[in-house]
């Protein structure tokens, strides 16, 4: 067994790597009030630049480091120029969503260019370790510590003693005032993106060397870790980000020592949620805190929804209902069935993110809860399938609301981060709670759908079954939106302070939204599990959450019919055109980016 000192060293080294990420995130947040979800992609690109340099160009280490820093900085500049600058002046959440889209696109490009297979990234350093106390330190540990320390010192010097550094600080403290002093804030933005990305890329290189392993999928985790560290230290606070990173590294290292590797991320996200709930401004926030985020944390582009009279909706439903009589190919029906299931997720998210303005990035967790509930009820308790799906809806509604509860007191960006973390926690709980969920192996042999003993197995029957559920829940949601409840939800979204001063209990209405939305998503997950007959902790992953958000934005936030059409387009079209799976995610990312840029109100307008 390795010593505690070893775990401490390991924690600090990993913390150092996180610090390189978190400092960049803090810099970017400082000058542009943006949580850059594409940061992990820069980190991956940095790692792959390093891999190309080491494995193909055989560059010496200093050259590799320079190449990685320069390449990543360039990527940062491109992201700033083409992804974010065009969005200046739009609502705050728009650039955040754009960085999500950018990260989808970048990760997918890396995956297409380098294949999803992992690569070894040898460190080129001598393989010696020396003893100190009860632990050992290797050359790579020292290199990582040195790079972390040097970067921190250079950054400090830059911010404190150079004119540009002053401009960065001034911009971070008051962007408008900085402009009025003659600071070119666009240039500041570029500089900050370049520096942050160089550090992020270096972090990717060092991680690759540390574990001698890189793969494209590490992007998302890296973003999350950086965000956790940044939030722990207080968003935008650079020294805080460094300390937060070291704390995160240590928490993870000790946690793994106690419980095992598969718990690593669980600690990170629980730490995040605890900090968000107890000290949303971070551990080191000064008494004079950042002003609260503007209320417009939502992505509601002002627009008139496209009018959709009830007869037209009924006609659309009728067409959808008779489609199986016309279409013979089961493949097409299966695709549409899939679209209906995503549409259930879509109407759920469009309610929570669109109508109530709580941009949730953990929505796949509701599917997972529903899926596991229905699967385990039928397999372990012998509950009939129809009943189990209904139960899946209720459990997802209840448990989902309970889990989202900590996020209710948060606003804007913080809701997004918190729900993302909660979603990850659910996925990790499924992975680790083996006695209930069967752990990483997943759940096999989930029985097919049946209702009152009648099997629903043909493509046609399943199609009608899901369409019927969707129609009922969508109609219910439309009815709710027109009621007093719907008005209260929109009031919470548009101005929560005003809503509260008119006597709307925010928590209660947010809970009602999560209950309503959780039910639809849970049903969708439940049905899905019976259709797949196998699920595991990765079936309902974070990518699904982001796909759901893209569906919702495509249709128009809060727009029930829009969510359904959005789902048909995003799920159905790539299927019909037989787009290869790896290009699909690329398409989703691009669709998200183009929508945010050119049609933020979606196809059918926000409601």
Partner 1 sequence: MSETTAPVPLLELDKVNTFYGPVQVHFDLSLTVPKGEIVSLLGGNASGKSTTMKIILGLLKPQSGTVRFAGEDIGALQTPQIIRRGIGSVPEARRLFPDMSVRENLLMGAFTRTDKQAVAHDLDWVLTLFPKLGQRLAQRAGTLSGGEQQMVAMARALMGRPKLICMDEPTMGLSPLFVDRVLELIAAINREGVTIFMVEQNASLALQIAHRGYVLQTGRIVLEGKAADLLVDARIRDAYLGGAEAA
Interface ranges with partner 1 (CB under 8 A): 163, 166-167, 169-170, 173-174, 176-184, 288
Cβ-contact 370, 430 below 8 angstroms: no
In a 13 Å sphere around the CA of 477, the CA atoms on its Cβ side amount to: 36
Tell me the closest approach of the beta carbon of residue 186 to partner 1, in angstroms.
Answer: 9
The nearer residue to partner 1, 6 or 184, going by C-beta atoms, is: 184
Tell me the closest approach of the beta carbon of residue 176 to partner 1, in angstroms.
Answer: 7
Tell me the closest approach of the beta carbon of residue 156 to partner 1, in angstroms.
Answer: 15
Cβ-contact 222, 43 below 8 angstroms: yes
Tell me the closest approach of the beta carbon of residue 259 to partner 1, in angstroms.
Answer: 40
Tell me the closest approach of the beta carbon of residue 181 to partner 1, in angstroms.
Answer: 5
Q: Which residues contact 488 (CB under 8 A, 6 or more apart)?
A: 499, 504, 509
Q: What is the DSSP string of 447-474?
A: PPPEETTEE--SHHHHHHHHHHHHHHHH
What's the rounded Cα separation, in Å, for the pair 11 and 20?
A: 14
The helix (run of H) or strand (run of E) holding residue 132 is strand 129-132
What's the rounded Cα separation, in Å, for the pair 405 and 273?
A: 11
Strand locations in 170-322 (E)? none
Tell me the closest approach of the beta carbon of residue 180 to partner 1, in angstroms.
Answer: 4
The nearer residue to partner 1, 81 or 179, going by C-beta atoms, is: 179
Q: For the range 439-444, what are the long-range contacts, defined as Cβ-Cβ under 8 Å and sequence gap of 24 or more? A: 439/537, 440/262, 440/536, 440/537, 441/536, 442/534, 442/535, 442/536, 442/537, 442/539, 443/372, 443/375, 443/376, 443/379, 443/529, 443/534, 443/535, 443/536, 444/533, 444/534
What's the rounded Cα separation, in Å, for the pair 242 and 264?
A: 19
Q: Which two tokens stand for residue 303?
A: 């627009």
Tell me the closest approach of the beta carbon of residue 161 to partner 1, in angstroms.
Answer: 11
The nearer residue to partner 1, 170 or 473, going by C-beta atoms, is: 170
Tell me the closest approach of the beta carbon of residue 160 to partner 1, in angstroms.
Answer: 10
Q: Which two tokens stand for residue 103?
A: 């990260």
Tell me the closest approach of the beta carbon of residue 81 to partner 1, in angstroms.
Answer: 17
Sign of the alpha-carbon torsion through 162, 167, 168, 172: positive
The nearer residue to partner 1, 173 or 483, going by C-beta atoms, is: 173
Tell me the closest approach of the beta carbon of residue 77 to partner 1, in angstroms.
Answer: 19
What Cα–Cα distance (Å) separates residue 41 from each residue in 70, 95, 101, 308, 546?
15, 16, 11, 40, 15
The nearer residue to partner 1, 288 or 484, going by C-beta atoms, is: 288
Sign of the alpha-carbon torsion through 227, 231, 234, 235: positive
The nearer residue to partner 1, 94 or 268, going by C-beta atoms, is: 94
The nearer residue to partner 1, 302 or 445, going by C-beta atoms, is: 302
Q: What angle do CA 482, 487, 491 make, to 5 degrees?
A: 155
What's the rounded Cα separation, in Å, for the pair 593 and 102?
A: 7
The nearer residue to partner 1, 169 or 584, going by C-beta atoms, is: 169
Q: Which two tokens stand for residue 451?
A: 């209702």
The nearer residue to partner 1, 87 or 593, going by C-beta atoms, is: 87
The nearer residue to partner 1, 145 or 283, going by C-beta atoms, is: 283
The nearer residue to partner 1, 38 or 178, going by C-beta atoms, is: 178
Tell me the closest approach of the beta carbon of residue 415 to partner 1, in angstroms.
Answer: 26
């Amino acid at each position: 067994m390795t010593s505690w000192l070893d775990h401490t060293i390991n924690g600090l080294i990993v913390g150092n790597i996180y610090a390189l990420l978190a400092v960049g995130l803090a810099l970017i947040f400082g000058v542009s009030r943006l949580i850059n979800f594409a940061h992990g992609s820069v980190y991956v690109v940095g790692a792959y630049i390093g891999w190309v340099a080491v494995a193909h160009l055989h560059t010496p280490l200093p050259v590799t480091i320079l190449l990685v820093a320069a390449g990543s900085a360039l990527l940062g500049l491109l992201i700033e120029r083409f992804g974010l600058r065009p969005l200046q002046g739009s609502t705050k959440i728009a650039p955040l969503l754009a960085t999500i889209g950018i990260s989808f696109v970048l990760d997918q490009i890396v995956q297409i260019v380098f294949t999803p297979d992992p690569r070894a990234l040898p460190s080129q350093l001598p393989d010696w370790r020396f003893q100190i106390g009860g632990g050992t330190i290797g050359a790579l540990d020292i290199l990582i510590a040195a790079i972390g320390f040097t970067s921190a010192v250079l950054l400090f010097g830059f911010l404190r003693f150079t004119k540009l550094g002053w401009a960065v600080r001034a911009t971070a403290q008051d962007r408008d005032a900085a402009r009025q002093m003659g600071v070119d804030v666009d240039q500041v933005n570029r500089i900050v993106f370049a520096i942050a990305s160089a550090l992020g890329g270096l972090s990717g290189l060092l991680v690759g060397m540390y574990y001698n392993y890189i793969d494209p999928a590490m992007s998302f985790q890296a973003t999350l870790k950086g965000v956790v560290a940044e939030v722990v230290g207080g968003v935008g606070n650079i020294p805080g980000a460094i300390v937060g990173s070291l704390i995160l590294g240590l928490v993870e290292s000790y946690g793994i020592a106690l419980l095992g590797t598969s718990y690593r991320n669980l600690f990170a996200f629980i730490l995040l949620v605890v900090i968000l709930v107890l000290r949303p401004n971070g551990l080191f926030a000064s008494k004079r805190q950042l002003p609260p985020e503007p209320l417009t944390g939502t992505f509601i582009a002002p627009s008139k929804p496209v009018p959709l009279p009830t007869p037209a909706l009924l006609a659309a439903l009728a067409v959808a209902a008779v489609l199986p009589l016309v279409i013979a190919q089961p493949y097409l029906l299966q695709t549409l069935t899939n679209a209906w299931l995503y549409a259930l997720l879509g109407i759920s998210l469009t309610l929570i993110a669109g109508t109530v303005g709580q941009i949730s990035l953990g929505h796949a967790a509701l599917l997972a809860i529903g899926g596991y509930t229905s699967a385990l009820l039928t397999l372990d308790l012998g509950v009939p399938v129809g009943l189990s799906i209904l139960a899946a809806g209720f459990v997802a509604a209840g448990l989902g609301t309970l889990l989202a509860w900590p996020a209710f007191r948060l606003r804007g960006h913080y809701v997004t981060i918190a729900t993302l973390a909660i979603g990850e926690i659910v996925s990790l709980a499924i992975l680790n709670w083996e006695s209930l969920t069967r752990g990483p192996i997943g759940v096999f042999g989930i029985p097919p759908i049946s209702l009152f003993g009648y099997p629903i197995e043909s493509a046609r029957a399943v199609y009608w079954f899901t369409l019927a559920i969707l129609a009922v829940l969508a109609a219910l949601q439309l009815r709710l939106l027109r009621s007093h409840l719907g008005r209260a939800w929109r009031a919470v979204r548009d101005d929560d302070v005003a809503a509260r001063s008119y006597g709307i209990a925010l928590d209660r209405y947010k809970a009602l939204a999560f209950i309503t939305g959780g039910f639809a998503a849970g049903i969708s997950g439940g049905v899905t599990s019976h259709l797949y007959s196998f699920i595991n902790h990765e079936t309902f992953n974070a990518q699904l959450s982001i796909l759901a958000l893209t569906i919702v934005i495509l249709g128009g936030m809060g727009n029930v019919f829009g969510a359904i059409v959005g789902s048909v387009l995003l799920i159905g079209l790539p299927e019909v055109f037989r787009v290869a799976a790896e290009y699909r995610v690329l398409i989703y990312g691009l669709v998200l980016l183009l929508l945010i840029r050119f049609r933020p109100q979606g196809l059918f307008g926000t409601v």
